Chains A and B, each alone.
Chain A
Amino acid sequence: MKYVTGLGFCVLICVVPQIGWAQPASPALSGTVNNPSGSPVNNATVTARNTATSESAETHSDPSGHYSFANLPPGTYEVTAVAEGFGTRQLTASISAGAAQTLDIALGSASTAPNLGDLGFPTSQTSGNAADQARLDRRTHMLQMHQRLGLITAGALAATLISSGGAGGRSTSSSTRDLHAALGSMTAGLYFWTASYAIRAPRIQGTPTRGPIRVHKALAWVHGTGMILTPALGIMAFDQKNKGERVHGLASAHGPVGWTTGIAYGLAIATVSFKF
């Protein structure tokens, strides 16, 4: 009886704890990250990538340089260790089912990694310039305003050209002429407001104009001139019509100049919007 009681007690203290507190699974891969002189490296980032599935896991070394991965499926792994101030180290490890693998990693000296100075760029190409960035920011802001206002102006210009059909013929009324004149005035105002943003945008030294923007700028000379001439000719034509006269002389160029201006303006937008 004593024997049975003793055996039961032994079972109680020897087996039950094993059931109640399961031992943690031993890590599938572990080791120590050391620096070139053999001292442990704290907080090194260690990555294990399964070469077959490309799945990766990441951990960090503790102050004693120890790292570990639990639950890594069996396979071949690329193990990479990176730490601030040291060269990167990549090794290969094979994990078998149920077997723990130890892999100590010796980081290389940081001096082996190339740095920017090795590449021989002139200082002007490596150092930032906040003032230049501010100039670029201002330029972009102004050209974005130029774009937005330019689109609004395009709408006003189209409405002006459409309304011209009822403003200049024999069977026209003064109200359609007034509408056309009002739209034309608004278009001219918007146009010069739009142009002012492009004209005042900061120039960036050392950047020659290339590509479609050259055509855009060349067309600006056409529609810019047209946008000055068209209202002037329009005033003359407006006066002649109000006097009951047929539009004649220089004023008769108002329509063709206006249409040329509109077409040049549309093309100017198209050159920077579409790839030809």
Chain B
Amino acid sequence: MTKRFLAALFVPASLLAADTQWILVQSTLSYHLAHPLHETNGVSKAARGKGVCHDGQCDFLIAVPVKSFDSGDSNRDLHMLQATRGAEFPLVQVRTHLPESARSASSVQLDLEIEFAGQKASYKQVPFQLTAQGNGVKITGTIPATLSDFKIDPPKLLTVPVKNELPIKVEMTWRPQ
């Protein structure tokens, strides 16, 4: 009886101390590139992500294959893959962290560390909007990336380079595991 009581006392405590995990269940990431002659959007739905919350703090990792971005033009996609050194560095990796309590907020400002094209860049206080979806959370925002942040030579069309700005629009739905 005493053993059962102790088990009942300690099992919930150990459960409370356990890490909470979040899984990225749906995502749309799209980059935007502007050239004087036309503008391009490349979209990927192939991102995978995981978040681990421990002691009220959550660490997140999101990764997406560079070659999964589709602009609707295979020639342009191959050119982007080359310019971003996507064969040598096949994944874009994003790391961020936030307090677990941020789940209930309607917006958060995240510090992001992005690894792309063999380079790392940090973005401070990037605003994102949070929307509750069932027991999950949908997060949307735009990362103000530029080509020069990752030392990418701007691709050229008819000898004219694209603009340096490479904003990446993010829509992700996370669910606790």
Interface residues of A (CB under 8 A from B): 49, 54, 56, 80, 87-90, 108-109, 112-116, 118-121, 125-130, 132-133, 135-137, 139-140, 143-144, 147-148, 151, 204, 207-213, 216, 272-275
Contacts and interface: CB of A to CB of B under 8 A. Distances in A.
Among all A-B residue pairs, the 5 with the closest Cβ atoms: A211-B73, A132-B87, A275-B38, A136-B82, A213-B75
Nearest to B48: A119
Contacts of B79: 140, 143
Which of B77, B83, B88 counts the most A-chain CB atoms under 10 A from its CB?
Answer: B88
20 contacts: A80-B97, A113-B59, A116-B63, A119-B61, A126-B91, A128-B89, A130-B87, A130-B88, A136-B78, A136-B82, A139-B82, A151-B158, A151-B159, A207-B74, A207-B77, A210-B72, A210-B73, A211-B71, A211-B74, A273-B37
B61 A108 contact: no
Nearest to B125: A54
A56 B124 contact: yes
A153 to B, nearest CB: 13
B52 to A, nearest CB: 5
A132 B66 CA distance: 14
B72 A211 contact: yes
Given A128-B90, A129-B88, A133-B85, A90 B74 contact: no
Contacts of A127: 90
B81 A211 contact: no
B52 A112 contact: yes
B120 interface: no
Contacts of A129: 87-88
B141 to A, nearest CB: 16
Contacts of A135: 87
A273 B158 contact: yes
B125 to A, nearest CB: 6
B45 interface: no
A154 to B, nearest CB: 10
A46 B153 CA distance: 33
Which of A90, A115, A129 counts the most B-chain CB atoms under 10 A from its CB?
Answer: A90
Contacts of B60: 114
Interface string B100-122: 00000000010100000000000
A275 to B, nearest CB: 4
B57 interface: yes
A275 B19 contact: no
B152 interface: no
B104 to A, nearest CB: 16
B125 A49 contact: yes
A128 B131 CA distance: 36
B51 A140 contact: no
Nearest to A151: B158
Given A80-B111, A90-B98, A274-B38, A121 B48 contact: yes
B82 A87 contact: no
Which of B19, B77, B97 counts the most A-chain CB atoms under 10 A from its CB?
Answer: B97
A136 B81 contact: yes
Contacts of A148: 159
A112 B76 contact: no
Contacts of A128: 87-90
Nearest to A276: B38
B80 to A, nearest CB: 10
B83 A140 contact: yes
Interface in B49-64: 49-52, 54-55, 57, 59-61, 63
A118 B75 contact: no
Given A108-B55, A210-B74, A211-B76, A116 B111 contact: no
B154 interface: no
A272 B99 contact: no
B32 interface: no
B65 interface: yes
B50 A114 contact: yes
Contacts of A132: 87-88
Contacts of A137: 82
B54 A126 contact: no
Contacts of B99: 90
A115 B61 contact: yes
